[in-house]
């Protein structure tokens, strides 16, 4: 079974994590022919940050730069797919650095199926939510994972990815465990005006921490992608 290095990083600034991803992608591309080179899954939290993907629109950001600065938010244009989203404390972010050519070759395909990869990432989150008796589901026409809320469908996890020319994935998912949901009020999340966002803590009406999700996410990821952790999760952060 393919090995994967799962690391719980703790809190890390967005720019530092982005540079780390780029380095891991370069290493994975250089060693793509080595069947023993493990994949990587980084699990972490960010300081308050808004990111705009390749299809992002500043019309979906509701604060001026001065207001962002005053509130202590970082704003970054990034090279993932999707529109604007929020990252912050209380949100579990996962960055899978996977050799997708190798992954899909194991499944008998000659090239990566990116739509299936997105569905697989959604499945990881759906299974992790199920461990807390939360029913997460896919909403046709949208990417991410949704739950039923008092006002209708609400997004609980956002997904935005990049795949390099070498077939190496980066960026990933953001699961709202217990973030400050008012921080989503400053954007139109993912450019979706008709639906809101929620968190696991709001659904369960009880407090949770991102560390409560480390093992459920890791277990679900390994099951869906048929990988085996190299070792006990390396805890680099607090």
d(CA 183, CA 71): 10
State the pLDDT at residue 233: 64
- Which DSSP letter does residue 101 get? H
Name the domain count of the chain: 1
State the pLDDT at residue 56: 86
Residue 236 has pLDDT above 80, yes or no: no
Q: How confident is the model at residue 4 (pLDDT cuts 50, 70, 90)?
A: very high
d(CA 196, CA 11): 25
State the pLDDT at residue 144: 97
State the pLDDT at residue 54: 87
Residue 235 has pLDDT above 90, yes or no: no
Q: Which domain holds residue 202?
A: 2-235
d(CA 56, CA 61): 10
Q: How confident is the model at residue 151 (pLDDT cuts 50, 70, 90)?
A: confident
State the pLDDT at residue 46: 98
State the pLDDT at residue 134: 98
CA distances from 71 to 45, 64, 65 (A): 18, 11, 10
State the pLDDT at residue 238: 43
Pick the more confident residue, 233 or 217.
217
State the pLDDT at residue 127: 98
State the pLDDT at residue 232: 67
* Whether residue 222 lies in the annotated active site: no
Residue 1 has pLDDT above 90, yes or no: no
Choice among 190, 200, 203, 227 that is catalytic: 190
- Contact partners, residue 187, CB within 8 Å, separation at least 6: 50, 60, 61, 62, 84, 85, 86
For residue 7, the domain's CATH number is: 3.30.930.10
List, for residues 26-82, the tens digit of each pLDDT value. 999 999 889 889 999 999 999 999 999 988 889 999 999 999 999 999 999 999 999
List, for residues 166-219, the tens digit of each pLDDT value. 999 999 999 999 999 999 999 998 898 899 999 999 999 999 999 999 999 999
d(CA 169, CA 172): 8
d(CA 200, CA 3): 30
State the pLDDT at residue 41: 98
List, for residues 107-138, the tens digit of each pLDDT value. 999 999 999 999 999 999 999 999 999 999 99
State the pLDDT at residue 163: 97
Cα angle 163, 166, 171 (rounded to 5 degrees) comes to 25
């Amino acid at each position: 079974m393919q090995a994967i290095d799962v690391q719980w990083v703790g809190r890390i600034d967005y720019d530092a994590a982005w540079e780390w991803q780029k380095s891991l992608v370069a290493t994975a591309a250089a060693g793509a022919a080595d069947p023993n080179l493990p994949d990587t899954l980084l699990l972490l939290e960010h300081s308050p940050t808004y990111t705009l993907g390749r299809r992002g629109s500043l019309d979906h950001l509701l604060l001026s730069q001065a207001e962002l600065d005053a509130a202590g938010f970082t704003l970054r244009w990034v090279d993932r797919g999707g529109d604007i989203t929020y990252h912050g404390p209380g949100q579990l972010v996962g960055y899978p650095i996977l050799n997708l050519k190798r992954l899909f070759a194991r499944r008998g395909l000659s090239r990566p199926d990116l739509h299936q990869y997105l569905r697989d990432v959604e499945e990881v989150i759906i299974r992790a939510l199920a461990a807390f008796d939360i029913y997460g589901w896919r909403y046709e026409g949208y990417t991410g994972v949704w739950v039923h809320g008092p006002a209708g469908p609400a997004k609980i996890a956002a997904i935005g990815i990049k795949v390099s020319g070498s077939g190496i994935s980066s960026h990933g998912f953001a699961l709202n465990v217990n973030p400050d949901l008012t921080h989503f009020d400053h954007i139109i999340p993912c450019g979706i005006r008709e639906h809101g966002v929620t968190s696991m803590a709001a659904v369960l009406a009880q407090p949770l921490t991102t560390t409560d999700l480390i093992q459920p996410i890791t277990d679900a990821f390994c099951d869906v992608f048929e990988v085996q952790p190299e070792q006990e999760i390396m805890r680099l952060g607090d």
